[in-house]
Amino acid sequence: MALRQILKDNHPVLQSPTMAVKKINSGVLRLLDDMIETMQEAKGVGLAANQIGVSKKILVALITSADGEVKKVIELINPVCEKAEGEELGIEGCLSVPGQYGEVPRAVKIAVRALNREGREVCLEAEGLLARILQHEMDHLDGILFTDKAVRLIDPEELQSEEQT
């Protein structure tokens, strides 16, 4: 595994839609491993492949307990949101937009279909924070940043603690 550099928001790869993965080969598996290592090193809870300069439809996310302990790592290849219910505002940050936070409207509950690293189709239902993280990462894969959707940007000093995706 290797740490990769996280691109910042004005990079063209972050502003362009990614390509679907056609074949899950050793390069894709290595990419997943590197994404997880890079996300955890940066203390993020989600990362899209184009954030490390690879224009492929791959995201990783973490489910953590309140004290930050990692409970589960989620890896999704070619994710598609199939169902979205409700809407709520929440505060987001992004590893590619350091020091900025904003209030972003997201669906409360979603269902996502994707492939796992074995190439098997999985359907993941998520709500609350995980649903927000997955929507944020799927937006990355479409070349969209949270700052494009934020209804209000927030001064970092307003926040006591925050999570970066």
Binding residues for Co ion, rule: CB under 5 A, are 94, 165
Give me the catalytic one of 37, 137, 157, 158: 137
Find the angle CA(2)-CA(69)-CA(50) to the nearest 5 degrees.
40
| Minimum CB distance to Co ion, residue 33 (Å) | 20
Q: Residue 109 to residues 26, 58, 69, 115, 138: CA-CA distances in angstroms? A: 33, 21, 23, 20, 14
Closest to Co ion by CB, 6 or 77:
6
Closest to Co ion by CB, 78 or 165:
165
Closest to Co ion by CB, 94 or 138:
94
Distance CA 61, CA 160 (A): 22
Phi, psi of 157 (to 5 degrees): -70, -15
- Minimal CB distance to Co ion: which residue? 94
Closest to Co ion by CB, 26 or 151:
151
| Minimum CB distance to Co ion, residue 77 (Å) | 18
| Minimum CB distance to Co ion, residue 46 (Å) | 7
Distance CA 140, CA 133 (A): 11
137 flagged as catalytic:
yes
Q: How many CB atoms are located within 10 Å of the residue 136 CB?
A: 26
| Minimum CB distance to Co ion, residue 88 (Å) | 18
Query: Active-site residues: which are they?
Result: 137
